[in-house]
Structure 1
């Protein structure tokens, strides 16, 4: 029953809340606005609106627009140098999970010497403590997927070593303010709405079946699962359905908070290995690809039968009475969202990589394997990849 909870982020949630940004306490006078290398924040007007709100609050701003779907260490280092050169004293992360993740790493390198990998635990990281306080972060999420607006973690890829590793864990990396405005998510295309929604779902399902689960994390996880099960397909089918967008955004924020209370399991480590070698693979898509055989493995092992039954009920099958019902309702949701036929081969993944991916998952993010209730070997990992392969 014991747990520890610390989520210091001020959450400003609801449709239209970007218009309230100027009313929030600003942690500095010059903001570095971090956005993706795509066109969405410019095309949908959210960048201009953010700049206008900062102006209204008396904050000067500059824009760094180079973050890709799987943010790279080299881009983070460039961003840290950009912040220093422009005299920025805080960061506004305007975008999805990759932007918010990268912003935490940029905030660190803007105030600290050396290389980002000096402060990374796992893999070839040196595991050093971050000596100087990172720049404060205001997170404005434009997607509902990672929950990065309310946690102190980010995931960064090192293109030199084929490592994709969770960075952070330092309480100083919690955003000071999170603006969660579902109106900003209306323009997210259907397939990415689905990928992001399933990422949020798996944060909660993993934290619920993890050995680290507790009373508080269970409350967050089950509520998030219920909201995804009820509203994600609606948000995918009609992006302007604001009721659905709001509930999926709510589930996503809960799924970020739950990771501070429990822990993701090896499923996330396995997908990080996939996209570490194949950068074009969206994280959520990779999770969907492996999810059914992954959960089937732990159901076969009877890792926590009662928890799989409870998740099946929360996800949309109230009469569930056996663990396998979770696989049924999960497959049904994937079909309803049009993501039931994703193929690893479409992203260049080949069967001869499976053991390499399994070993990479453990080498880079082995800590998540310790959250599994039943040990998962490299051979079993490779077998899950094989079963998922299309």
Structure 2
């Protein structure tokens, strides 16, 4: 089997990793732009304070851009890029969940490339400002991926920017930043992380190394999903497991990409405002049923096994409990959503390629 592996990000993991490794920031430039969400969670969980103290200890100036909404739009990215240009920053630090981290990556591109939206998504750019990532949720794994997912109204969906230059140069993962994460966000992001590793394991692009990481992540995240579904309290160990599992899942999809659940979930988020991870979870049970019905690939049942579930039924029950109440979709909405999904590359990144009618069945049965 021929394969390659490339994850150039230097990862620091554990307690107080920003403070203890502040010198790593020194070589990135003299002025940083910190990108965070609008809600102020980076300040409340201590990650913003830790980062600004680290920067100041290295005599690095910084500017704060705290305007990132959930599922950041291309308009917000342009505003961030103008902010970066105005303040003459040398590198970009994303702090938060997937939205600030993905936004930081896209801003790092447009800050030094005067290009149209079409050229941005066509990957017609050269240099990118150095990127630093500090995840404060355990879901996207963006701290170790070359992807930035941006809401793009021109296509009524999300669209990805990707490339080796979008890997963060440095990522700091400290479980304490996730300790006070609200339960609903913890569930949404945990399901997203699990969707990554599930879809990655069932991707035709899987490799020997991605499989090793996926098996580890499936076991860790599967156990934590059952813990969440059982309404048990979350201790530091659970938070640590979720953050570690999310990082592993990010490494997996950095090489395999995602599949059918992600492609279908984008419309649920764009049109129905359902959180991304939860939208994935709503689709996963029928996605697994579709695969089992139409393919004899043993990897499908291996996912259930490595995740620690007794059988398919218990797996589906857990996913449905965590996904919560699903929306009611009109037939016209289903047709619109599946046609939007059918044009994406994700749809064909599966053990079996679905037809449009298969997507219709998956989405209709999911709702």
TM-score, normalised relative to structure 2: 0.94
User: 1: distance between equivalents of 2:81 and 2:113?
Assistant: 9
User: In the alignment, what sits opposite 1:8?
Assistant: 8
Counting only pairs closer than 5 Å after superposition, residues 78-157 of structure 1 correspond to structure 2 as 78-120=79-121, 127-131=122-126, 133-157=127-151
SS of residue matched to 1:373: coil
Q: Offset at 1:189?
A: 0.8
Q: Is the 8 A contact 2:295 2:351 kept in 1?
A: no
Q: Offset at 1:152?
A: 0.7
SS of residue matched to 1:344: coil
Distance 1:189 1:233, change over 3 A: farther
Counting only pairs closer than 5 Å after superposition, residues 325-336 of structure 1 correspond to structure 2 as 325=311, 327-334=312-319
SS of residue matched to 2:255: coil
Q: Is the 8 A contact 1:207 1:262 kept in 2?
A: yes
Q: Offset at 1:233?
A: 4.5
Q: Offset at 1:199?
A: 0.7
Deviates more, 1:91-100 or 1:350-359: 350-359
User: In the alignment, what sits opposite 2:349?
Assistant: 371
Q: Which of 167, 192, 199 is 1:174 aligned to?
A: 167
Q: Is the 8 A contact 2:260 2:287 kept in 1?
A: no
User: In the alignment, what sits opposite 2:326?
Assistant: 343
Q: Is the 8 A contact 1:165 1:272 kept in 2?
A: no
Q: Is the 8 A contact 1:164 1:275 kept in 2?
A: no
SS of residue matched to 1:216: helix
Q: Offset at 1:239?
A: 6.6
Q: Offset at 1:216?
A: 1.1
Q: Is the 8 A contact 2:150 2:158 kept in 1?
A: yes
Cα RMSD after superposing both structures = 1.8
Deviates more, 1:375-384 or 1:188-197: 375-384
1:175-205: CA deviation from partner (whole Å, max 9, x where unpaired):
0001011110011111111111111111111
Gaps of 5+ in 1: 121-126
User: 2: distance between equivalents of 1:386 and 1:238?
Assistant: 32
Distance 1:80 1:331, change over 3 A: same
SS of residue matched to 2:322: coil
Deviates more, 1:100-109 or 1:266-275: 266-275
User: 2: distance between equivalents of 1:334 and 1:344?
Assistant: 16
Q: Which of 278, 287, 307 is 1:294 aligned to?
A: 287
SS of residue matched to 2:155: coil
Distance 1:332 1:14, change over 3 A: farther
User: 2: distance between equivalents of 1:303 and 1:106?
Assistant: 43
How many residue pairs are counted as aligned between the two chains?
365
Q: Is the 8 A contact 1:22 1:53 kept in 2?
A: yes
